[in-house]
Amino acid sequence: MHALSSLFLLGTCAVQAALGHPGTARDKRDTAICKRSVDSFIEQETPIAWARLLCNIGPSGCAASGAASGVVVASPSKANPDYWYTWTRDASLVLTGIADVFAHNYSSSLQGTIHNFAVSQAQLQGVSNPSGSFSNGAGLAEPKFMVDLTQFTGEWGRPQRDGPPLRAIALMQYAKWLVDNGYKDTAKDVVWPVIKNDLAYTAQYWNETGFDLWEEVPGSSFFTIASSHRALVEGAALAAQLDTECRACVTVAPHVLCFQQSFWKASGGHVVSNINGGEYRSGKDANSILASIHTFDPAVGCDAVTFQPCSDKGLSNHKAYVDSFRSIYTINSGIPPGKAVAVGRYSEDVYYGGHPWYLANFAAAEQLYDAIYVWKKENSITITQLSLPFFKDLLPTITTGTYPSSSPTFQAILDAVLAYADGFIDVAAQYTPQDGSLAEQFDRNTGAPVSATHLTWSYSAFLTAAERRAGVVPPGWSAAHGKTVPATCSRVQVAGTYALASTSTTSFPANLTPDPGAGGAPAPFPSAGACADAGEVYVTFNARVATQWGQTVKVVGSSAEVGAWDVGRAVGLSASGYAAGDPLWSITVPMRAGTVQYKYVRVNADGSVQWESDPNRSLSLSAAGAPGACAAKTVNDTWR
């Protein structure tokens, strides 16, 4: 470890804590030493992380020469591995972090970075790519692009459905700042058109399988579903603030949340991060930790339904995830349960040898800092039977119950959890080189940096963890309005309409400086039963159509919403409910009241089309009839 920094107090938390005993004077002394070590690391690493992160953003970043304006380069590494691309996921997570910091501390420089990102994403949405076209939204799920905003045509795990909701979340953070500071028109005219496309995609494709955030496993990803739910709820709230609506957001979000519950494995007390694929893994994955911290909303406390960081499910999952790494990395040898260790993506990982990731350690710490923030805010800590094993690792004599802030146990728990969280930061500090650079991974045997150098996501993950440790948290995303699981869950997918933001509108006015209080009172969250357009009818097409692998089904008809008899503009149905005994294809299409004729077509893998037999089907659609009411209709058809 000769390359490691002598500036940091290496190993203090891990070694000292392993020697101490909970509750002893020595343990308290060691905790204080650990805290000073982490304080020192954060103080020294923060300016380095900010500098290196901004270096990786075009056009003027010191390591981003050749990247287009606003493009977040994953890493300057161009070989072994080649990360000289921009991933929608990584870029959006980085920009969300930047926007959160900007909202707390105005910076014209950061504002310029956010503006450039918004403009670049407006352009990127329309770039033709192998995942599909923009006309039906499919191309929005393309995971990565060249740094000059051209398509990447090589083989890859596509589609990846977390990009659109994450990009919407990132841009919504800035749009909300604009609204809060009196610039509603700018938010609505410049930023909302880009957000709207990503929300439309999320409402339409959330229930389709795709590749997980590690780009390896096809199926359904917990991180993607949790991010999709947040984006739809937050999108509905923002739309109301902008005097418009996102009916698809309100309609679909509860069913996304319902599906999110199916990832929980009660027998193991943890999330199975990938279902409908990836069955060779245990499911204990940083995917779930990242989902918890990136859907953190301090206003809903320790809500388990939305998997908040301090929820009993969140803490039980944290323990299961961390423990899965204790025995597989040499650098974790001798560290007992309840003490922080190096963690990676998932225990079965073999990428570059399957090593710990810096961002995973920072995420493990951040979840616990989030929990501490909420416990302090609520002045109590509740330990359930599910979360008890997590707490007993830290305080062996602890029992279930609710501990108010007036009790000595409350402070003992805070101290223990803070020391544990700091331990994950300290592990990363041990294996951070002298110059403060953060690669993607560090070797499981030696701790030496491995894989891509100067990973942008690593720097961003450090900065957000440091912010949360300091008690600086994001404002929330209206989770209080989106935490109820419906009595009946369904696969509602609403076909979207997509319109590129024009270059004339994706430019920001000058002098968008802070003016707190100019935004006025927040708009009420939209009701599921209230629709601004009483003449719009949500039509759910359920068609039983037997198909072969590679075939798809579309609905085409006389109205513009179903293609005006042009198969090229027809609406594709989803096969998410398809089964051998019930070949169901479904989609919900927003349509205008009136009479429409339609048919189903079967599209073969080579693009050839088979129409169902005559006559045309006919559908009469009635408006809601009352201002603010919602109209809906379901049709059940069988292929003729």
- What Å distances lie between residue 153 and 79, 146, 504, 588, CA to CA? 18, 9, 29, 31
* Pair 452, 74: CB distance under 8 Å: yes
Residue 34's pLDDT is 74
Match 């599906």 to its residue by tokens. 259
Between CA 139 and CA 342 the distance in angstroms is 37
Ranges of the chain with pLDDT below 70: 1-33, 503-506
CATH of the domain at 602: 2.60.40.10
Residue 27's pLDDT is 61
Residue 29's pLDDT is 60
Share of the chain above pLDDT 70, in %: 94
Reported pTM: 0.94
Question: What's 433-498 look like in SS3?
Answer: ECCCCCCCEECCCCCCEECCCCCHHHHHHHHHHHHHHCCCCCCCCCHHHCCCCCCCCCCCCECCCC
Type of residue at 57: I
Residue 228's pLDDT is 98
Taking the mean position of all CA atoms in its chain, how far away is CA 198? 13
Note down the domain range covering 617.
Answer: 536-638
Residue 627's pLDDT is 74
Match 């350690």 to its residue by tokens. 361
Q: Is residue 19 part of a domain?
A: no
pLDDT tens digits, one per residue of 88-125: 999 999 999 999 999 999 999 999 999 999 999 999 99
Residue 475's pLDDT is 87
Q: Say which of 208, 215, 245, 378 is annotated catalytic.
A: 215
pLDDT tens digits, one per residue of 573-617: 999 999 989 999 999 999 999 999 999 999 999 999 999 999 999
* Pair 383, 443: CB distance under 8 Å: no
Q: Is residue 515 part of a domain?
A: no
Tokens of 92: 């959006």
The kind and range of the H/E element at 402 are strand 401-404
- Annotated binding-site residues read 156
Q: Is residue 576 part of a domain?
A: yes
Residue 568's pLDDT is 93
Q: Is residue 378 part of a domain?
A: no
Between CA 249 and CA 199 the distance in angstroms is 7
Q: Is residue 572 part of a domain?
A: yes
* Pair 339, 423: CB distance under 8 Å: yes
Residue 431, Cβ density class (10 Å: 0-12 exposed, 13-18 middle, ≥19 buried): buried
Residue 504's pLDDT is 55
* Extended beta strands in 150-216, E state: 210-211
* Extended beta strands in 52-154, E state: 85-87, 144-146
Q: Say which of 27, 100, 198, 212 is annotated catalytic.
A: 212
pLDDT tens digits, one per residue of 540-581: 999 999 999 999 999 999 999 999 999 999 999 999 999 989
pLDDT tens digits, one per residue of 407-458: 999 999 999 999 999 999 999 999 999 999 999 999 999 999 999 999 999 9
Q: Is residue 543 part of a domain?
A: yes
Name residue 536's beta-bridge partners.
Answer: 592
Residue 197's pLDDT is 98
Quick check: is 245 catalytic? Answer: no
Q: Is residue 592 part of a domain?
A: yes
Quick check: is 212 catalytic? Answer: yes
Residue 4's pLDDT is 38
Total count of domains within the chain: 1
Q: Is residue 544 part of a domain?
A: yes
